[in-house]
Amino acid sequence: MIKLVNGSDPGSSASQVFKTENCLCSNWLPHVRTLRYDVNHQEPTIDKSKLFGTIEEDDIRRFKPIKAATNDQSTSVFYSATLEKFINMVMKDGKKLVARKIVNEMLENIKMTQVEKFNRCENEKEKMEIECNPEIIFNQGLENIKPVLMLTPIIKGGVSYKVPVACPVHRQKFLAMKWLVESCRDRERKIPMGKKLAYEIFDAYKNEGKCVRRKQELLRQCEENRAFAHFRY
Amino acid sequence: MAASMQTFSRVCSTKHPIKELIRWQITKCSALDRHKNGVHTSCRLLADVIPETFEQKTENKAEKISKAMRLYMERAKNYNSMIDKEIDEYEVGKRHLANIMGEDPDSFNQDDIDRAIKYLLPSGLFEKRARPQMKHPYEVFPQRKEALFGKDGRPHHYQFYTGKPNYHGLLHDINMKYEHLNATETELYKNGKMAEEEDKKLFLHGFQWIDHKTLTKQLIEEISPQEYNRFVLVLHRLLKHKLSYKEEEFLLKYSKKVMTMSQFRSIEKPLIDSDGREYSEATGRRKTSNATVTVYNNGSGQISINGQDLAYFKDIHQREQLLFPLQLVNKIDKVDIVATVEGGGSSGQTGAIRLALAHALCSFVDTDSIERLRLAGLLTKDPRTRERKKPGQPGARKKPTWKRR
């Protein structure tokens, strides 16, 4: 992969002849005014299996400085990147402790409900199918909310059209989490947020509920506007 | 303009019009003859200035070019003589300096000169380039190109008129090589010998193309970033060719070996305290927190932070952060940790201790584990600090309410 001199490419450095197929980090940098890190710094590798696996001699990370791991990252079994992102989205006014507490309550609620169901169930076959891991339920629920397509405004001939476009992966994640949090914030204030989130996740897990409906609404609109699909380019 | 046209028409009536026009133009353009004898040449009759024949006109052109060439040669000679003088002065000065320092003048090299100057003329200036220096004239005076064109005014380099002959010549060479390799490839396919070349593909692992500045120096021409990018793309295209191993020497000329990051780290040996226990110390910083951590080898997992247990940090998440480096190198219950931290908030203090801990652990762990710690981002100091508030704004990024008018 080639990297070019600054001036042509925002996040680039001096040219190199490295194999980056094994490199996890993308070289896409967020468009923020200034970066505290030098452009050469690579993202840290948090996955333990990848750290203990083979890293080739000519991997780019061997030749470049690495950014510091944030205070949320760790190689422990309990770390989940999706959950950390979700905590950030739930957070308001920088109150991380509160956000983390809410998300933990959500996971706890999910677990308790499922365990209750498991204990009540008499049929052995059905028992095996009950998923008790709250993280798996959360991930699956999120997957069901992620939209495959999205509408982008494209101006052609002075008129702004809403064109259906394939939704990139990072945008899918963001939209799913955003809708989840928004729908919970709109609900009754008396119910704790953790509980509300748990209810929403359960609905999404079964492909029902507000968030999934929102996603289906979006996909329906994309279908309606499919005549403009060729405006992509 | 009208006057000159009248004179021209007067001249034209008697002689061949085109030849006269050419002669006219030459005289007009010649700055050297502009104000001869106080009269503007363009107003003078050509017959007074130049003889009639066409061949003599070209000779005049050649004379003018050779004059320019002569001046050019003179300038080049002056420059060369100046450089030679500077070199002599430098050599003599070097010997003097060696004598002053009491060292052998014959084996006095550039490092010794730098040391001597630093000692004799100490300077506290922050800009290192403004401090007293003594360098070889080739490094001080910018390099100049040799004569670009011959006596007849004809340039030596076939790309002279691009303005950057070395750069364009180089791109052209690379492309010629690429074309040649393409031709070779087709020949091999024809003869059915392409299969032999399968394993010989060139990769140049751990190499980097020469950077912008080096290229500018090498070519003695100003290379813009866009031109440099083009150069890199073209070189890379040549490297990607199946038969690029044939041009390995050429490609290596424009690449340099890169050092792995692990080579920059020196392995610190653990110290031994009064009880005979091995320990190592390290400091770490995060935001405004400073932490000092002492790690004792062959321990049982005791942790002390400012005299307290791990319960110093009320949040479980922060405690998990401290265990992060230990967990990665499998030393959770195998070392004792004594940490002191001050300044900042709980999160900053956690980060500071984590960094110090990771650095201290490097003394008790093999190079593979150190590399893993580095790749996980545990050995880098987090440079992020609180962004300052700007004037005219309520915060660092927050702006006052936007009003349309």
Write the ipTM.
Answer: 0.81
Asked if residue B278 is part of any domain, the answer here is: yes
The DSSP secondary structure of B325-370, one letter per residue, reads HHHHTT-TTT-EEEEEEESS-HHHHHHHHHHHHHHHHGGGS-HHHH
Across the interface, whether the CB atoms of B315 and A97 are under 8 A apart is answered yes
Across the interface, whether the CB atoms of B324 and A74 are under 8 A apart is answered yes
Q: Same domain, yes or no, for B277 and B363?
A: yes
Amino acid identity, position B327? Q
Asked if residue A190 is part of any domain, the answer here is: yes
Across the interface, whether the CB atoms of B377 and A8 are under 8 A apart is answered no
Low-confidence ranges of chain A (pLDDT < 50): 1-29, 31
Residues of the domain holding A92? 82-233
Strand partners, A16: B208
Position A12 scores a pLDDT of 36
Read off the CATH number of the domain in which A198 is found.
1.10.455.10
Number of structural domains found in chain B: 4
Report yes or no: B29 at the A interface, CB cutoff 8 Å: no
| Minimal C-alpha gap between A188 and chain B (Å) | 30
d(C-alpha B322, C-alpha B284), whole Å? 13
Report yes or no: B388 at the A interface, CB cutoff 8 Å: no
Asked if residue B403 is part of any domain, the answer here is: no
Q: Chains A, B: CB contacts under 8 A, how many?
A: 123
Asked if residue A116 is part of any domain, the answer here is: yes
Across the interface, whether the CB atoms of B225 and A8 are under 8 A apart is answered yes
Task: Report the b/e string of A193-226 with b at 16+ CB within 10 A.
Answer: bbbbbbbbbbbbbeeebbbbebbeebeeebeebe
Residue B32 phi, psi (nearest 5): -65, -35
Report yes or no: B228 at the A interface, CB cutoff 8 Å: yes
Asked if residue B336 is part of any domain, the answer here is: yes
Residues 244-303 of B with CB under 8 A from A: 255, 258-262
Residue B263 vs residues A15, B256, B259: alpha-carbon distances, Å = 21, 16, 7
Asked if residue B155 is part of any domain, the answer here is: no
B248 and B306 Cβ atoms separated by less than 8 Å = no
Report yes or no: B232 at the A interface, CB cutoff 8 Å: yes
Q: Same domain, yes or no, for B63 and B42?
A: no
Position A230 scores a pLDDT of 81
Position B204 scores a pLDDT of 80
The DSSP secondary structure of B212-250, one letter per residue, reads HHHHHHHHTS---HHHHHHHHHHHHHHHHSTTGGGGHHH
B112 and B177 Cβ atoms separated by less than 8 Å = no
d(C-alpha B402, C-alpha B405), whole Å? 9
Q: pLDDT tens-digit profile of B82-109?
A: 999 999 999 999 999 999 999 999 999 9
- Mutation choice for B interface testing from A9, A52, A66 by most B CBs within 10 A: A66
Window from A18-22, B214-218, B277-281, B318-322 with minimum mean pLDDT: A18-22
Position B222 scores a pLDDT of 92
B238 and B204 Cβ atoms separated by less than 8 Å = no
More confident residue, A114 or B27: A114
Asked if residue A206 is part of any domain, the answer here is: yes
Q: pLDDT tens-digit profile of B286-313?
A: 999 999 999 999 889 999 999 999 999 9
Q: Same domain, yes or no, for B245 and B196?
A: yes
Across the interface, whether the CB atoms of B261 and A14 are under 8 A apart is answered no
Asked if residue B27 is part of any domain, the answer here is: yes
3-state secondary structure of B291: strand
Across the interface, whether the CB atoms of B376 and A2 are under 8 A apart is answered no
In A, minimum Cα distance to B377 occurs at A68
B301 and B332 Cβ atoms separated by less than 8 Å = yes
Name the token pair of B15: 């002689």
Q: pLDDT tens-digit profile of B127-166?
A: 999 999 999 999 889 888 877 877 777 889 999 999 999 9
Position B344 scores a pLDDT of 93
Position B17 scores a pLDDT of 60
Q: pLDDT tens-digit profile of B35-74?
A: 555 545 454 444 454 445 445 555 677 677 677 778 888 8
d(C-alpha A147, C-alpha A215), whole Å? 6
Report yes or no: A40 at the B interface, CB cutoff 8 Å: no
d(C-alpha A200, C-alpha A191), whole Å? 13
d(C-alpha B20, C-alpha B11), whole Å? 8
Instruction: Band the pLDDT of B25: cuts 50, 70, 90.
Output: low
Asked if residue A203 is part of any domain, the answer here is: yes
Report yes or no: A6 at the B interface, CB cutoff 8 Å: yes
Report the mean per-residue pLDDT for chain B. 85
Read off the CATH number of the domain in which B324 is found.
3.30.230.10
Amino acid identity, position A47? D
Question: Which strands sit side by side in the sheet containing B289-296, from one edge to the other?
Answer: B271-272, B278-286, B289-296, B336-342, B303-305
Across the interface, whether the CB atoms of A4 and B232 are under 8 A apart is answered yes
B297 and B277 Cβ atoms separated by less than 8 Å = yes
DSSP-assigned letter for residue B163: S
Number of structural domains found in chain A: 1
Residues of the domain holding B10? 2-49
Q: pLDDT tens-digit profile of B339-351?
A: 999 999 999 999 9
Asked if residue B147 is part of any domain, the answer here is: no
Across the interface, whether the CB atoms of A14 and B206 are under 8 A apart is answered no
Q: pLDDT tens-digit profile of B392-404?
A: 999 999 999 999 9
Q: In chain A, what is the straight-line distance between the N-terminal and C-terminal CA atoms, in Å?
A: 26
Q: Taking 80 as the threshold, does the pLDDT of residue B12 lie above it?
A: no
Q: Taking 70 as the threshold, does the pLDDT of residue B26 lie above it?
A: no
Residue A162 phi, psi (nearest 5): -95, 110
